[in-house]
């Protein structure tokens, strides 16, 4: 008999949480939805939807500019959201929290300003073999522009970083290390504390792509002593089009501005422009006001449930999913990391992941197939893609059981 752990962590009332997410009540092809594509995006609780509606119905107005009442309310709510998010990641100062479009935008921002402010020809940037394209391509573009060199920490067959190789890559030429906290394609939780400690021992700053971490585990930027982190609102139960760049004040103060425009300036003349203080220096133009306020509501919702409770619950859920999927004949996991979070990638026999994905969809099970924007990972395993099931705080045991039944049925038809 398969060992079935008790996954009902007492601190989390999953049935109650599920009722907060209207989309989870939807049916697909007449079947109750099993939503297991949370690494791509999460569903939104009613409180976020209400917050967006309240903004547009009652105080839609531009921020930081108007003296009138609506603009003041919008500005207060926008800044209140920044405070909530700063508290959530334990930033020492709320001006270290910059609103961006998302993880991709945040990484592009840092790659760009590092390129212009720090990097010289021959300098090196370190990423890892399991990065999402958005933590590869911005650095490649910058390295090409500046004549710098991109170095890659290799991984092993389990989908874990080879830390001894990382140690060897760090050198006097390294200017920044940028790695995923959690891999979106494999679910690997990387040893970020060790990565940061080794880089800092050489005075090298570290950026973490926390797109797949911040919704699954407590993340304290001061405890980690990380220099920059990036994450997306839409993967954290918030709206699309909004995300966060956290950066230590010492760094953001001395790096050059990114985009030019309204709000990011102190004074402008044709001879010279002076730049605004943080966080406005990095928020040129009208921001996604409703998105920021909506993300604040999402983070507050997560805080009320407790990220540590979500973490404990999901750890058991992932373990349960691994155990149950192991019972499927011919299934092999892609990546077998010791510590996994949020996502499980697999293949069954020689069945193409797209074929499996389509038949799962017809059974109401939404998973993702393909390269998950991590083509180098697929190349490493010599596969065209994987089937990825990914979880959120509302995923329950029944979702996993229905996934396993659906995979067995689909594989039976495709064999
Ligand atoms: N990094 C990782 C690890 C991701 O999973 C994703 C989204 N799949 C991104 C970056 C990019 O996020 P976004 O598209 O929200 O900018």
Ligand 1: which atom is nearest the Cα of residue 235? 15
Residue with tokens 């792509």: 209
Q: How far apart are CA 63 and CA 60, in angstroms?
A: 9
Arithmetic mean of pLDDT over the chain: 96
Instruction: Tell me what pLDDT residue 197 has.
Output: 98
Tell whether ligand 1 has an atom less than 6 A from the beta carbon of residue 212.
yes
Tell whether ligand 1 has an atom less than 6 A from the beta carbon of residue 372.
no
Catalytic residues: 373
Pocket mutation for ligand 1, best pick of 109, 131, 132 (most atoms within 8 Å of C-beta): 132
- 42-61 residues labelled b (16+ CB within 10 A) or e (exposed): bbbbeebbebbebbeeebeb
279: nearest Cα among 78, 14, 20, 72 = 78
CA 10 to ligand 1 center in whole angstroms: 31
What are the boundaries of each domain within the chain?
Answer: 14-44+306-414, 49-304
Tell whether ligand 1 has an atom less than 6 A from the beta carbon of residue 41.
no
Instruction: Tell me what pLDDT residue 66 has.
Output: 79
CA 231 to ligand 1 center in whole angstroms: 8
Q: How far apart are CA 405 and CA 415, in angstroms?
A: 16
What is the pLDDT averaged over residues 345-361?
A: 97
Q: Give the tens place of pLDDT for each residue, 111-168.
A: 999 999 999 999 999 999 999 999 999 999 999 999 999 999 999 999 999 999 999 9
Pocket mutation for ligand 1, best pick of 134, 240, 342 (most atoms within 8 Å of C-beta): 134
CA 236 to ligand 1 center in whole angstroms: 12
Confidence of residue 65 (pLDDT cuts 50, 70, 90): confident
Confidence of residue 11 (pLDDT cuts 50, 70, 90): confident
Confidence of residue 9 (pLDDT cuts 50, 70, 90): low
- 201-235 residues labelled b (16+ CB within 10 A) or e (exposed): eeebbbbbbbbbbbbbbebebeebebbbbbbbbbb
CA 186 to ligand 1 center in whole angstroms: 14
Confidence of residue 64 (pLDDT cuts 50, 70, 90): confident
Task: Look up residue 273 and give its two tokens.
Answer: 């422009």
CA 30 to ligand 1 center in whole angstroms: 31
Tell whether ligand 1 has an atom less than 6 A from the beta carbon of residue 229.
no
Task: Look up residue 10 and give its two tokens.
Answer: 């007492």
Instruction: Tell me what pLDDT residue 323 has.
Output: 98
Domains 14-44+306-414 and 49-304 share a fold: no
Tell whether ligand 1 has an atom less than 6 A from the beta carbon of residue 209.
yes
Tell whether ligand 1 has an atom less than 6 A from the beta carbon of residue 104.
yes
As a CATH number, domain 14-44+306-414 is 3.90.1150.10
Ligand 1: which atom is nearest the Cα of residue 240? 15
Tell whether ligand 1 has an atom less than 6 A from the beta carbon of residue 188.
no
Ligand 1: which atom is nearest the Cα of residue 180? 3
Half-sphere exposure of 15 (CA within 13 A, CB side): 2
User: Domain 49-304 is of which CATH architecture?
Assistant: 3-Layer(aba) Sandwich (3.40)
pTM of the model: 0.97
CA 272 to ligand 1 center in whole angstroms: 37
Instruction: Tell me what pLDDT residue 355 has.
Output: 97
Instruction: Tell me what pLDDT residue 302 has.
Output: 98
Ligand 1: which atom is nearest the Cα of residue 131? 3
Pocket mutation for ligand 1, best pick of 135, 373, 377 (most atoms within 8 Å of C-beta): 373
Reply yes or no on whether the pLDDT at 2 is more than 90.
no
Asked whether the bond before 321 is cis by omega within 30 degrees of 0, the reply is no
Q: Give the tens place of pLDDT for each residue, 300-312.
A: 999 999 999 999 9
Confidence of residue 1 (pLDDT cuts 50, 70, 90): very low
Percentage of the chain exceeding pLDDT 90: 96
Q: Give the tens place of pLDDT for each residue, 81-95.
A: 999 999 999 999 999
* Beta strand pairing call for 174-180 and 243-247: unpaired
Q: Give the tens place of pLDDT for each residue, 363-413.
A: 999 999 999 999 999 999 999 999 999 999 999 999 999 999 999 999 999
Q: Give the tens place of pLDDT for each residue, 194-227.
A: 999 999 999 999 999 999 999 999 999 999 999 9
Task: Look up residue 175 and give its two tokens.
Answer: 């200017």
Reply yes or no on whether the pLDDT at 5 is more than 80.
no
CA 301 to ligand 1 center in whole angstroms: 22
What is the pLDDT averaged over residues 160-180?
A: 98
Instruction: Tell me what pLDDT residue 10 has.
Output: 56
Please name the residue whose Cα sits nearest to atom 4 of ligand 1.
211
Pocket mutation for ligand 1, best pick of 99, 104, 228 (most atoms within 8 Å of C-beta): 104
Order across the sheet with 368-370: list the strands: 331-333, 343-348, 386-390, 368-370
3-state secondary structure the chain: CCCCCCCCCCCCCHHHHHHCCHHHHCEECCEECEECECCCCCCCCHHHHHHHHHHHHHHCCCCCCCCCHHHHHHHHHHHHHHHHHHHHCCCCCHHHEEEECCHHHHHHHHHHHHHHHCCCCCCEEEEECCCCHHHCHHHHHHHHHHCCEEEEECECCCCCECHHHHHHHCCCCEEEEEEECECCCCCEECCHHHHHHHHHCCCCCEEEECCCCCCCCCCCHHHHCCCEEEEEHHHCCCCCCCEEEEECHHHHHHCCCCCCCCCCEEEECCCCEEECCCCHHHCCCCCCHHHHHHHHHHHHHHHHHCHHHHHHHHHHHHHHHHHHHCCCCCEEECCCCCCECCEEEEEECCCCHHHHHHHHHHCCEECEEECCCCHHHHHHHCCCCEEEEECCCCCCHHHHHHHHHHHHHHHHHHC
């Amino acid at each position: 008999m398969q060992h079935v752990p008790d996954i009902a962590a007492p601190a989390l009332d999953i049935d109650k949480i599920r009722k907060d997410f209207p989309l989870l009540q939807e049916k697909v092809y007449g079947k109750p939805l099993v939503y297991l594509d949370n690494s791509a995006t999460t569903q939104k609780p009613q409180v976020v939807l209400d917050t967006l509606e309240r903004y547009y119905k009652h105080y839609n107005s531009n921020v930081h500019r108007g003296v009138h009442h609506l603009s003041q309310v919008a500005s207060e709510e926008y800044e209140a959201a920044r405070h909530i998010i700063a508290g959530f990641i334990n930033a020492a100062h709320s001006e270290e929290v910059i609103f961006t479009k998302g993880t991709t935008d945040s990484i592009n921002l840092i790659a760009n300003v590092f390129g212009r402010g720090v990097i010289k020809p021959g300098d090196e940037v370190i990423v890892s073999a399991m990065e999402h394209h958005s933590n590869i391509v911005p650095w490649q573009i910058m390295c090409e522009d500046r004549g710098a060199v991109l170095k890659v920490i290799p991984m092993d067959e389990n989908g874990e970083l080879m830390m001894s190789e990382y140690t060897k890559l760090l050198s006097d030429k390294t200017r920044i290390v940028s790695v995923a906290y959690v891999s979106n394609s494999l679910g690997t939780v990387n040893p970020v504390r060790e990565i940061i400690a080794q880089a800092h021992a050489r005075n090298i700053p570290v950026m973490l792509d926390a797109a797949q971490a911040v919704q699954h585990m407590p993340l304290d930027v001061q405890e980690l002593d990380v220099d920059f982190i990036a994450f997306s609102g839409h993967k954290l139960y918030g709206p699309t089009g909004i995300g966060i760049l956290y950066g230590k004040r010492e760094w953001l103060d001395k790096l050059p501005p990114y985009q030019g425009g309204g709000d990011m300036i102190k004074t402008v003349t044709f001879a010279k422009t002076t730049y605004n203080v943080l966080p406005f220096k990095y928020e040129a133009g009208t921001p996604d006001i409703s998105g920021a306020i909506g993300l604040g509501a999402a983070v507050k919702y997560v805080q009320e449930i407790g990220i540590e409770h979500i973490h404990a619950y999901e750890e058991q859920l992932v373990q349960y999913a691994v155990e149950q999927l192991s019972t499927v004949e011919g299934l092999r996991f892609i990546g077998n990391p010791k510590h996994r979070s949020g996502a499980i990638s697999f293949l069954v026999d020689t069945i193409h992941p797209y074929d499996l994905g389509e038949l799962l969809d017809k059974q109401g099970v939404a998973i993702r197939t393909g390269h998950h924007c991590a083509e180098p990972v697929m190349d490493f395993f010599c596969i065209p893609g994987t089937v990825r099931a990914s979880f959120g705080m509302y995923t329950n045991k029944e979702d996993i059981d229905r996934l396993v039944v659906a995979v067995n049925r689909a594989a039976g038809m495709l064999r």
